[in-house]
Chains A and B, each alone.
Chain A
Amino acid sequence: MKTRDLVRTAVAGTFRNRLRTSLTALAIVIGAFTLALTLAVNNGLNSYIDDTVATVGSEDTLTVTKPAGEVEGDIVRYDPDAPTVGGIGSSGSVLLGASSGQTELLTTDDLDTLRSLDGVERVHTVRPVRVDYLQLEDAPEADRWKLSLSPGIPGVRFPLAAGTQPDLDSDEPQILLPRDYVKILGLDSADDLAGRTLLLGVTDPTGTQETLTATVVGVTDPVLTFSTPAATPSVALAEAIYDIQARGLPDEQKNRWALAAVTVTTEQGTPVADSVAAVQERLDETGFQGRTIDDILGQFRAFFDAILLMLIGFAAITLLAGSLGIINTLLMSVQERTREIGLLKALGLTSRRVFTLFSLEAVTIGVLSATIGITTPVALAPWVNQVLAEGPLADLPGLQLISFTPTLIAAVAAVIIGIAFTAGTLPAIRAASKDPIDALRHE
């Protein structure tokens, strides 16, 4: 029998009992729907992380910290002999992997070591700074708010609601504020906050509080991170804060940095990732810890991946149940059509072709289910994305939660059809092994 005729016969066979086929397909449709939607959401989240947190040219940058002792996993073993950090707290952000307590501040010697390291092109330093409060220049004293600081790293670009990216090298004291401060400071929109002058309270080692001014250059949109919203000061502002914080301390204690951002020398012909990995290894050997933006984002991705895996698990369970449905339906069909199978074999259809015929019936159910189960979420995605963007996800502009790509659609379709084919194997073997005589005698 020609393949085209086999397909036609199989499709006709599948639709002979429409209700049964539809119900069987429905179970697979639900599985296909869940799987397609889960992968599309994962795709949407990952593109969002890439687009917003990412980073132009920052793949050649490593954030370097110094673990305060022997590292096991991500935790540092306590070492009583390790130099303690007096007076100055380290205030990196969780996002940049420099949480206080587990890292040691960097010294002048450390920076020299980093600068001399093979493959390091540039070292950008970040002071351990902390402010007591922020306040709008013309606001009453009651309107003071706490503020976390997160260092600016060359190459990292923030998603902006208003204003511009900070110029890290500017002499002006600039600061980037999270959008959360708009309402708290009694303003209507991010545009109102951009360009305003802030007063920042900083305490020196003797406990005397001083005030610094800084210009809000930009207002950031929230990023999908689990850290508290943090502001990013320009280098000039950070130095000004640090000057107060470390005033009067001996040089040995004063010349300290929270972390350094190391730009890796890239060479023509060598993948950037390889150069970065080489430097990362050298850092490790010299007692530092260097992390790329990808390493850090990896933690967030791991979280989403865990949720994704769970959802895929649900889809898998549905598909398992659905494939049992296919097996059941086709076994019934084989049983009912025993005489027809016998006739086909008596008239010279080979067992192999009978197997193909029933496998194709399973595949037909798979194709039908995949078509409905995938086109439905694809068709609904733009609408759902719009509703979400205007509602629950309004705070995350640019997030297309459900994002389909042709590859994703093809992959899901292939999985569904593959599952259907596999489920059809048992009934198809049953059909192929029927003896024409017994089959023709069958009542």
Chain B
Amino acid sequence: MTSADLITVSNVTKTYGEGSSAFTALRGVDLSIARGESLAIVGKSGSGKSTLMHVMALLDTPSTGTITLDGTDTTRLSASRVARTRNDTFGFVFQQFFLIAGASVLDNVALPLSIAGVSRKERERKALAALERLDMADKARNRATDLSGGQKQRVVIARALINDPEVIFADEPTGNLDTATGQAVEDTLFTLNREQGITLVIVTHDPDLAAHCDRAVTIADGRVVADERRAA
């Protein structure tokens, strides 16, 4: 563990349910993610890789063990502090996009700022800037549901970027896209990682995507079974 570590997972277990129906998704995971790193979490479905991402992203709490973020033990934080951390430190990219139907592209991108209580003028300015970086500024006034899959995922990335996050958590970001579009989204993510030093945590079962990351951690049956770094 070094001071450069942004997220440290220590001996984390996660069990759902109780008694005979109990299901253990994580069985003691230790993992450190350095600031600015791009990390792929790979594994079969049901391996626990999504659960690992959820506990690291503070969307879920571990049953035992701790998640340390930037030196702070997050299990001790209040619910509202955790919510604020997700809002201002993390960006999220989901496979199913999760855009608010009926709302404009601009409003969807500005949502994290709206939740943070930023004024309308300021968040529109930032949202437009984020959309411009993804060449989506001309779609700002469109309804989010009217876009193509690739356009939707770029809107989602713009939304993840708008708070200048330290970490972007991406759950199968290219899973719903064709190869060419997926490639473009992938390039966008790695460009952000390289140029802005945003830490990337990508859950995927696409070996090509995992191969592009600095490091790939393989999960099986709730344990880390491999931790490979790409040769520089």
Secondary structure of the A contact surface, majority rule: helix
Interface positions of B (Cβ within 8 A of A): 54, 59-60, 79-80, 83-88, 92, 94, 98, 100-103, 111-112, 114-117, 119-120
Say whether, besides A436-B59, A437-B54, A350 and B79 are in contact (CB < 8 Å). yes
Say whether, besides A346-B86, A346-B92, A351 and B79 are in contact (CB < 8 Å). yes
A244 to B26, CA, bound (A): 111
Say whether, besides A1-B117, A16-B102, A340-B100, A347 and B112 are in contact (CB < 8 Å). yes
Question: Do residues B102 and A344 form an inter-chain contact, with CB atoms below 8 A?
Answer: no
16 new A-B contacts, CB < 8 A, other than A1-B116, A348-B83, are: A2-B114, A5-B114, A340-B101, A343-B98, A346-B86, A347-B112, A348-B85, A348-B112, A348-B116, A349-B87, A350-B79, A350-B83, A436-B59, A437-B54, A437-B60, A440-B98
A152 to B43, CA, bound (A): 101
Question: Do residues B115 and A347 form an inter-chain contact, with CB atoms below 8 A?
Answer: yes
Q: How far is the CB of B37 from chain A (nearest CB, A)?
A: 22
Tell me which of A2, A343, A351, A436 contacts B100 (CB under 8 A).
A343
Tell me which of A12, A350, A437 contacts B80 (CB under 8 A).
A350
Is A66's beta carbon under 8 Å from chain B?
no
In the assembled complex, 14 residue pairs joining A and B whose CB atoms fall closer than 8 Å, in A order, are A1-B116, A5-B114, A5-B117, A9-B114, A340-B98, A340-B100, A343-B98, A348-B83, A348-B85, A348-B116, A349-B87, A350-B80, A352-B80, A436-B59
Which residues of chain A are near B88, meaning CB under 8 Å? 348
Question: Do residues A346 and B59 form an inter-chain contact, with CB atoms below 8 A?
Answer: yes
Question: Do residues A347 and B86 form an inter-chain contact, with CB atoms below 8 A?
Answer: yes
Is A339's beta carbon under 8 Å from chain B?
yes
Which residues of chain A are near B115, meaning CB under 8 Å? 1, 344, 347-349, 353
Question: Do residues B94 and A349 form an inter-chain contact, with CB atoms below 8 A?
Answer: no
Q: How far is the CB of A349 from chain B (nearest CB, A)?
A: 5
A111 to B172, CA, bound (A): 102
Which residues of chain B are near A349, meaning CB under 8 Å? 83, 87, 115
A203 to B9, CA, bound (A): 112
A345 to B84, CA, bound (A): 10
A256 to B222, CA, bound (A): 106
Question: Do residues A1 and B114 form an inter-chain contact, with CB atoms below 8 A?
Answer: yes
The 4 A-B pairs of least Cβ separation, nearest first, read A348-B87, A343-B98, A348-B86, A348-B83
Q: How far is the CB of B135 from chain A (nearest CB, A)?
A: 23
Which residues of chain A are near B102, meaning CB under 8 Å? 12, 16
Residue on B nearest A347 in the bound complex, by CB: B112
Question: Do residues A339 and B98 form an inter-chain contact, with CB atoms below 8 A?
Answer: yes
A340 to B98, CA, bound (A): 7
Which residues of chain A are near B94, meaning CB under 8 Å? 440
